[in-house]
Structure 1
Amino acid sequence: MSDTPIGSEVLVVANARSGASLGRPDRVPDVQRRMPGATVHRLGEDETLDDVVAAAVADDSPPRVLAILGGDGSVSRAAHLARRHDLTLLVLPNGTFNHFARSAGIEDVDAGLDAYAAGHVRPVAVAEVSVDGGDPITVLNAVSLGAYPEFLAERERRTSLGKWWGGAVAAWREVHGAHPVDVVRGGKRARVWSVFAGVGRNDPDHIATMQRATLHDAVIDVRVHHARGSRLRAIASLAFGKNTVKVLRALRVMPPASDLERILDEDFELEVAAGSAPDIWVHDGELEEVGADGFRMRVRAVADGLRVYLPAADG
């Protein structure tokens, strides 16, 4: 029997801000109890995940597994770094929505630790997004531009109200202030409220595909909401919960099928035209700033792009 403590090859980075903002208990002691050999690093206010991981892999005893205790943004960035440094990702969800973790069947921190204990590693599909030919960023769930990034930006400005009230105020403001965006694809110009590019085929009835439906489908599922209806419909289209969508459809505020376009492609590219360009876009819930003079975006599917610990009954 090996005397090597469990987790000796694991670097755990805990983003305390993810759980603390939700009033959740500190799960670091549970992680240390289950993986006593792991190196655990609590991310400081002035630290970046990139720097912490880079320092660890440069050490004489580099990790082989990167475990992230945090929410969607932290998990997405950890996935990017795991690919960059050839590490296996262990997801320990501790955020608001935990979209990728839910898709992977990892409902909570204990489920993630169970997957590690079982040693069940599988490759999953990811996407890479690049803007104006820049370095690609790993995407686990979706990329979006238009109304959704504007909604997130409004909500971020009202963090003092809490997520629910901040979101309500942001939605109200967007109903009155949302504006369409001009995009060009394949030489064809369109005026749209929003574009969502999700990893893998998703529910065709949804517009805001913010949580992936599959793990291994290496395709980009694009939803384009053409600007033919009201701002109210533009904001209603951002609903992604099944029950919410049903209610909004019953109230007849969801956009009709004629306003929506679905594109399935392994490599999707479009240009946001100058003059209407937003200065923000979103990947996995994280806001990115760009110039207002137009930009070109490319989203490319990558089969088996990431190794991750999954429950034994993964899909």
Structure 2
Amino acid sequence: MHAKVIQLREPASALGLQPASLMLSPPAPNALTVRHTAIGVNFVDVYHRAGLYPVPAFPAVLGVEGVGVVEALGSDVRGFVVGQRVAWAGLMDGAPGGYASHRNIPAERAIALPDALDDETVAATLLRGITAHMLLSRVRRVQAGDTVLVHAAAGGLGLLLVQWAKRLGARVIGTVGSEAKAATALGHGADHVVLYRQQDVREAVLQLTDGEGVDYAIDGVGGAMLQTSLSVTRPFGMVASIGQASDVGNTQTHTLDLSELGPSRSIALARPGVFRYMADLSRYRAGAQAALQRMLEGVHVPVGGTYALEEAATAHAALEAGQTSGALLLRP
């Protein structure tokens, strides 16, 4: 069968994402063919496109999560049926591949979906939910009474972290870039927001914590903001650096002087990666089930924009420019 895809021939701007058609082989014995109904757009897709996180080969098809319907089963597959709704997230054999009308995935990576959850909710939330599960239960176990700082709190992952951390009993401070995004973050449970374009983030966070700082800062912005995150984390607290949205073009590893962590300050710094986390099948499936359970409880990422598959370049441009809130989806 032919699959519609969005291809990238080399690291490029959003305009490098171009529609194409590829022949899709029948599924391997332990694989499924999935017809996508909704595809999540994540900031890691921008990292892949820009070359910050290399892809194995070109031309490449980006995209690291999707929802769809099983159209064909490999000969050894058990537990799934044609017509069943499933989702998947992560890399397959080290590569993305989600910006496609159809794709083959290993059956062990397919997540069966409950009828109570619609395709858009799952496509917007699954990968971010696994990431939140990793950050809030494995990287640091957040408990009632902790104060958590979430940067880009109106973005897709930010909004999910706000809701999830509040469910755990944390006090959540978010940083956002506009009044509209502040309202979004507050509406999803943030206790306080800091407008980073108008306020000094360090000063504001220290004031909100009576000078003590936060227990846990989750920073996907990077650059100068990472230094700020370190400066507002209390002794024996932690900073999780999960990206560098403010500095996508910098492929050089940022050098950090260990004296910025301690011993006098005694701060832990983590650099966790959700793809490495999901490489272990048991962690992947546990994270996915935790994410689905949270969705069933009403915790999810609102959809901030839906684009046709052929409009992937437009979605990337909007995401990279910081013009969006919530999640972006592609529809084949």
TM-score computed with the length of structure 1 as normaliser: 0.31
Which structure has the highest strand share of the two? 1
Q: If the length of structure 2 is used for normalisation, what is the TM-score?
A: 0.30
